[in-house]
Amino acid sequence: MVTEAAETHGGHGVSLSSCVSTAPVTVHLSATIAQGARLKLRTFYPMKLSSCLLPGLLLIPASVWGGTNASAIAVAVESPRQAPAASIVQRADFLCAVVVVRNSNREIEKQTAAVQQSVAALRKAAERSNSYHLHDGPVFSTGDLPQPGVTGGVLQATLRILCPLSNTSSAEMIGAMKGLRQFIASVDVAGGAPLEVSSISLAIESPEQYRDRLLELISEQTRVAQRALDARTVGVEGLGNSVALRQLDEVYVEIYIEHQISATLGR
């Protein structure tokens, strides 16, 4: 899918085009920011996508389950690096608990059955819950998330449980995380594989909804840089990167696109 936004500032037209796809594509950006200075971009970096369950492990469509959320989410990471100046700060939509389900039984049939049983039990608990949802959609993160598969003979599935934060204050976050852990621990998996909470992080829903606004902010940042440096040309790289998320505190996150701006000085 391709979306395009165009605007004009002081007679200098700015045209931004962004492509959103999991396959390799090319993003083109062209902006005339001053006479004799033209900015061009042709870069794309595929998004980092994690699946929800081991393919083929459960052949039950997510749509038949209640208590699920099938939208795309982005999971925040803690990073010592500052986000680019063009960013959006807002409250997170969810707490996201990544749950790992693994079994090391040497018999493949028993191994698979144990994991299936625990995955089904967690799904059923989410279906009955008014506070938590099983996430069955795509997830994006700049960090590493546990992946489903078989390693060293151990079968592993991963799931995500979401806790909406619409009415949760900063002071209530510790309690919210405790409640999320208690909910997962309360699931009866007797005879199945154990449920292990790998991490609990902040997350936002539908991260691509912020791309157009972020591109506008980057465009303005580029014009400011060109004027401040009296640069002959200004270049931007990385506008095809995925929308990323950085945790700021207990509730707030910073949304951004990792990019670089370069300038050529002199006339």
**Tens digit of pLDDT per residue, the chain (267 long)?**
222 232 323 333 222 323 333 333 223 333 333 333 333 332 233 334 443 333 333 333 333 334 788 899 999 987 667 778 899 999 999 999 999 999 988 888 999 999 999 999 999 999 999 999 999 999 998 888 888 888 888 899 999 999 999 888 888 999 999 999 999 999 999 989 999 999 999 999 999 999 999 999 999 999 998 888 888 888 899 999 999 999 999 999 999 999 988 888 876
Task: Tokens 């609990």: give the residue.
Answer: 200
**Amino acid (one-letter) located at 156:** Q
Question: Domains in the chain, please, with CATH?
Answer: 2-47+210-264 (no CATH), 49-207 (3.30.70.60)
CA 218 to centroid of chain Cα atoms: 20
pTM of the predicted structure, to 2 decimals: 0.71
**Contact at 8 Å (CB) between 208 and 20?**
yes
84: nearest Cα among 239, 249, 226, 231: 239
Please give the Cα distance from 235 to 226 (Å, whole number). Answer: 10
